Chains A and B, each alone.
Chain A
């Protein structure tokens, strides 16, 4: 492989291209979501039957839906909903997952075994399956989506933080801390957490993107936010009925989801390139 490799390492647009592009996309999406709280081109909930099913630029930037609502405004408001659900769910996953994962790394043996079995069990339930179970018990809504996505992310972060923490524990400075009389908990707070924070943050960025993807799926099935709150997934499910008459209804929300997820993924990859140069350009 080396034989055919070029003499110079070429990075298409510089080494941190992914980081900058990802940060730019993410900033745009977050900016539009925040803007939607105070201003949208048209009121997102307002039905204007006269303007129904208008193509993009005929009415509004991205056209209108079957009730004449402005699709671009709905997208902006939907961005806020989808981002907040994803972020809250990931926060749940990170807090519970890191606590359990670092505990597993600190206490080998039975505790670790129990935590990892627990992770295996939870991981066996795809978010959509647990969402269906939760919805059957307490109905659909934002909390159903948050619970389902958050639950699924707990084992993800248990595994990530355990693996990272084990690498920290393998260092002699943890042995030195033990020799200084520090217990497992103190070593975790003093040495392990500061050293895994970066890796967890990178993973969390990628998982937020993934959570947005899953949330779109849940709200497509009507398992997330109830109408009339705007949501990308439900816009897509509405669009299914009008696929031949108004294809833009299906295209715009899908592009919104894809671009947002792409932004978070690029940002995560870019951060990894920057802070973990060993894997730069490889992941």
Chain B
């Protein structure tokens, strides 16, 4: 048991390390470095050199890498060239919007998707299943940012219930939550559709297993068989998909933040791109990648709890 935990932890750290190398290599080592990109093609040689020195680009690659990674632990990720503030502080500030947004979206998606999928499986090929499957099929196909546009069109422009975007800050938590509600819903709907679909098929798969027949032969009630036996054993594939979908949640967040004009990390990444601010892009990209890796690591750990067979394996 501790062995398996250590091995998973090791592979987590290793993946993180290679991801950081990849980001560093593509952002810092490829021709056309940060200073030149930032200043544009018209810049003079000596201005570029000056900025290079200011950004520490004249140092050897491994020093730069270690400075960057070391900074990730102390929070000092360098200074944004365009904002003129520390990148660490910038990310922390923007996280206050993106994190609640993502968590709200995840909660909404699970709250809609899992019960709907279970219901569809329990009433396979009957009306509730057709309804849920139809929702899933369409929900997966619709882009989340378009949901955002539609919501603005309906709830802001037409009904005027919500403002069309922007974020008032957390000084008034109610107002903050209200501003995040539409974006979170737009982000959540496609995720809910995918979860519905996966939950349904996972529960249906388990329903064909022999132990479900054993449970039926015991004379258990239908709901006990469904929840204690079928859904319990379907959790592994469901949790797996939540992990795999996480990167789409991030992609969706970048888009939805732009639609709703929310000062989150996604918007920061996009703005830094138009400012050509590689120092920020580098850290934001690493932040997203690290988040995906972390989530998948946590999901890996949850298997140990969900499937007793894995605990025994060494």
Contact = CB atoms under 8 A, between A and B. Distances in A.
A232 to B, nearest CB: 9
A121 B288 contact: no
B281 A132 contact: yes
B106 to A, nearest CB: 15
B207 interface: yes
A124 B292 contact: yes
B188 interface: no
B233 interface: no
A244 interface: yes
Contacts of B145: 217, 220, 236
A151 to B, nearest CB: 11
A164 interface: no
Contact of B251 (A129, A254, A261): A129
B159 interface: no
A216 B149 CA distance: 14
A185 to B, nearest CB: 27
B201 A282 contact: yes
Interface stretch (B16-24, B69-77, B93-101, B171-179): B16-24
Interface residues of A, number: 56
Of A11, A221, A265, the most chain B CB neighbours within 10 A belong to A221
Contacts of B273: 132, 135-136, 223
B285 A132 contact: yes
Chain B interface residue bracket vs A = 35 or more
Given A121-B18, A283-B201, A136 B216 contact: no
B15 A117 contact: yes
B170 interface: no
Contacts of B226: 1
Contact of A128 (B149, B205, B230, B251): B251
A174 B276 CA distance: 53
Contacts, number: 169
A180 interface: no
Contacts of B30: 137
A202 B170 CA distance: 46
Interface in B259-314: 259, 269-270, 273, 276, 278, 281, 284-285, 288-290, 292-293, 296
A5 interface: yes
Given A1-B122, A243-B152, A258 B269 contact: no
A41 to B, nearest CB: 24
Contacts of A229: none
Nearest to A11: B125
B222 interface: yes
A243 B251 contact: no
Contacts of B138: 258, 262
17 contacts: A3-B216, A5-B124, A10-B126, A118-B18, A121-B19, A124-B293, A124-B296, A128-B251, A132-B281, A136-B273, A137-B26, A137-B30, A217-B145, A250-B153, A259-B141, A282-B201, A282-B204
